[in-house]
A and B are shown apart, each in its own frame.
Chain A
């Protein structure tokens, strides 16, 4: 009897200890949307149902093993069937499963209802960054990994949000229904933010829908959740949820900046100006493959420093950046970068690391090429 009590206490301790451990940072987050709260409470309900079933089933099993053991002279019974018992043990799980399916389906229906959104954001997965386009607002940008490369290489201590920080987060308003239209430019990625209870595959050639209505302002972090190549771990998601008026102000500011940028296309740019801009673009877009010093990592990612074809042939260089190279990892940047950024980054790569061509590529010329 003693041993039995120890067994029972042990299994009960396990059954209670597991959820306690989970509540302490191991469980899924409650999140900051109504849907995420619902998902969390569903998860906990089903978890407890499983705990109760586990305790009952294993309790009966361990009790029977102990109480009717052979050393106490127990004899096994020989009978073939018992229809009543069989019906009960088929019907009870059926009822439990249907009982769990009803609330789960109700939540799923809510998750899939992306109608009546107040803001549409296109989310595009790219190797290896996210691009966000505020549809109908002329605001679009790519969100690149913000962790310094020295931290990744181990030359520097890791920061608080190591690999979970970006140069520009996705900014969203609270209390408004935001619809996500999600796709990919290359391979399958998955846009995942646990606090928003959104994990949606982005698939080239398809547009998936999802939505959020965030209740609390804050910064919510996530990651790409579908293995997508070399830098899969280096394309985090950061969402900055703002009060509505702050968001409106931010959007207006971004619109204005986009207009300014569009105007910048027409004027003549100095070499130094282009170089400064180009270095930034290179660092966030190109350096993950072609490396910080332009040395590349052959054979997949050719070196740019001292690349004779690049130095000799401006036409080819521009065409490669604008249209990509099919059959290789080099994507087309015609829709990801604007004319100023393309001109700047081409100018930078033609003059950095001893490539000293002295050539400044004008944004206006790039714009003309893009229009062709």
Chain B
């Protein structure tokens, strides 16, 4: 699970190691990446919204 989170974070940032990418494609399940991706996208939106609300005060 932790490795899925790390891979999704790397995708958000836009940089990934070649070995890890190959590993993900060989061993990972697509459903896990999709689920973690959606949850973390929502988290990112939440963090940005919090920063914006702070800034607007």
Contact = CB atoms under 8 A, between A and B. Distances in A.
Nearest to A105: B55
A83 B17 contact: yes
Interface string A49-90: 000000000000000000000000000000011010011001
Q: Is the interface of A mostly helix, strand, loop or mixed?
A: helix
A80 B13 contact: no
A90 to B, nearest CB: 6
B21 to A, nearest CB: 10
A86 B15 CA distance: 7
Contacts, number: 14
A81 B18 contact: yes
Nearest to B17: A83
A80 B17 CA distance: 10
B30 interface: no
* Secondary structure type dominating chain B contacts: helix
Interface string B1-29: 00000000000011101100000000000
A87 B55 contact: no
A90 B15 contact: yes
Contacts of B55: 105, 109
A86 B18 CA distance: 12
A133 B52 CA distance: 36
A81 B13 contact: no
Contacts of B14: 90
Query: Which of B15, B17, B18, B55: most chain A Cβ within 10 A?
Result: B15
B47 to A, nearest CB: 13
Contact of A87 (B15, B18, B56): B15
Interface residues of B, number: 7
A83 B56 contact: no
A90 B13 contact: yes
A113 to B, nearest CB: 11
A111 to B, nearest CB: 13
A105 B14 CA distance: 26
Contacts of A86: 15
Contacts of A105: 55
Contacts of B17: 81, 83
B42 to A, nearest CB: 21
Contacts of A80: 18
Nearest to B20: A83
Interface string A85-108: 011001000000000000001000
A65 B44 CA distance: 40
Contacts of A90: 13-15
B8 to A, nearest CB: 16
Contacts of B13: 87, 90
A87 B9 CA distance: 13
Nearest to B16: A83
A86 B14 CA distance: 9
13 contacts: A80-B18, A81-B17, A81-B18, A83-B15, A83-B17, A86-B15, A87-B15, A90-B13, A90-B14, A90-B15, A105-B55, A109-B55, A109-B56
Interface of B: 13-15, 17-18, 55-56
Interface of A: 80-81, 83, 86-87, 90, 105, 109
